[in-house]
Amino acid sequence: MDLLIFEERRLLRYTLLFQLYRDFFTYGYEVCSNIDYEIPNDSRIEIIAALYFIFYKRWIFFNIERDKTVSAFVLGRGIEEVENYFTETGKFVLSNIFEDLLIPVINRE
């Protein structure tokens, strides 16, 4: 398989997890536990596969309803995963703020 496909799937999984995380803290747990989502038909299979993957990792809980909507919410491990990802990404971004602090010495002959 192509490496691009693997990265695309990984990005889709994290995007879904981030959306559930954002909804969880935007609407609150009482509402978020009952939020139903519609899935676009053109990418339905990929999204459901991604949901199954992150459900298997125990990051979310989701259920496909009879009307083909999806009820989903993020679990504690999913919250921790998102926050760890934000922390690591933030450290990477901040580490790139400082540039050229050490200047390499070129052999002078």
User: Whole-angstrom Cα distance, residue 76 to residue 60?
Assistant: 8
User: Whole-angstrom Cα distance, residue 60 to residue 4?
Assistant: 25
Predicted local distance difference test score (pLDDT) of residue 29: 61
pTM: 0.74
C-alpha distances out from residue 21 to 42, 66, 84, 100, 101, Å: 24, 25, 13, 36, 37
Per residue of the chain (109 residues), give pLDDT as tens.
577 888 889 888 988 888 888 888 776 666 555 678 888 888 889 999 999 999 999 988 888 888 888 888 888 888 898 888 888 887 777 666 666 555 556 666 6
Place of tokens 């450290």: 91
C-alpha distances out from residue 34 to 29, 30, 95, 99, Å: 9, 7, 40, 47
